[in-house]
Chains A and B, each alone.
Chain A
Amino acid sequence: SYVLTQPPSVSVAPGQTARITCGGNYIGSRSVHWYQQKPGQAPVLVVYDDSDRPSGIPERFSGSHSGNTATLTISRVEAGDEADYYCQVGDSSGDHTYWVFGGGTKLTVL
């Protein structure tokens, strides 16, 4: 099955830029989605299809991918951005698509 690899943690000072990576075989050829999850809450979609933002998500959140790595970039980080972040892709096999999450990255705002 397809495996997505994320760093367990990333730390950044307020106002700086956070970059959270997601590694996977040929991930550059897949549609990557990113979710934010705060403690005790359901996940929230922050980036879909590699780099698009749902309505209501600040422009500070952006996504990109190339080769075997996708990246979620959070510019001008705020205290409220502290959360777990998960990448996700669909892995098509036969007639069905199986969905996989990365292990998650805890973003700490110093």
Chain B
Amino acid sequence: QVQLVQSGAEVKRPGASVKVSCKASGYTFINYYIHWVRQAPGQGLECMGWINPRSGDTSYAQKFQGRVTMTRDTSINTAYMELSSLTSDDTAVYYCARRADYYYGMDVWGQGTTVTVSS
């Protein structure tokens, strides 16, 4: 079945970086954008950006530009999101989700990866 499986929970010190993976299966990886969305405790959903797995093209929300890097490895159908210079405000659940195009929304989501930033 179609699914996105994310890497496990992470605990990081302030100032460190975290890299979360998102492995796709059950569909053609390069045919769907991969988005990264985060949710701080008790808060709403926040779009971080996306990557086009076919071309490697990326687009980052202004808030994260300079601190986030999204990459992919098409040989293993996996997308990655790396966030640097972590602070306690980055403590959140990070989701990956796929999207076909502008009109289709994000129809498949990963299970989420909890990232905790604490000294």
A97 within 8 A of B: yes
B47 touches A97 (CB 8 A): no
- Contact A101 B104, CB 8 Å, known A42-B109, A96-B59: no
Complex interface bits, B91-103 against A, C-beta within 8 A gives 1, otherwise 0? 0000101000011
Q: In the complex the two chains form, is B59's CB within 8 Å of A104's CB?
A: no
Q: What is the size, in residues, of chain A's interface with B at 8 Å between Cβ atoms?
A: 26
The distance in angstroms between the C-alpha atoms of A35 and B35, with both chains bound, is 15
Are A90 and B102 in contact, CB atoms less than 8 angstroms apart? yes
When C-beta atoms are compared, the residue in chain A nearest to B109 turns out to be A42
Residues of B within 8 A of A43 (CB): 37, 45, 95, 97, 106, 109
Tell me if B103 and A49 are in contact (CB < 8 A).
yes
Size of the chain B interface, CB-CB below 8 angstroms: 22
Q: How many Å lie between the Cα of A99 and that of B106 in the bound state?
A: 11
Q: Which of A47, A54, A101 interacts with B44 by CB under 8 Å?
A: A101
Asked if B50 contacts A99 (CB within 8 A), the reply is yes
* A86 CB within 8 Å of chain B: yes
The reply to whether A31 and B44 form a contact with Cβ atoms under 8 Å apart is no
Bound together, the chains give a CA A54 to CA B37 distance in angstroms of 20
Q: Chain B residues with Cβ under 8 A from A48's Cβ? A: 103-105, 107
Q: Which 7 A-B pairs have CB atoms at the shortest separation, nearest pair first?
A: A33-B105, A48-B105, A42-B109, A96-B59, A104-B44, A99-B47, A101-B45
Residues of B at the A interface (CB closer than 8 Å) are 35, 37, 44-47, 50, 59, 61-62, 95, 97, 102-107, 109-112
Can you list 11 residue pairs at the A/B interface with Cβ under 8 Å? A43-B97, A43-B106, A45-B105, A45-B107, A48-B104, A88-B105, A98-B47, A99-B35, A99-B47, A101-B47, A103-B44
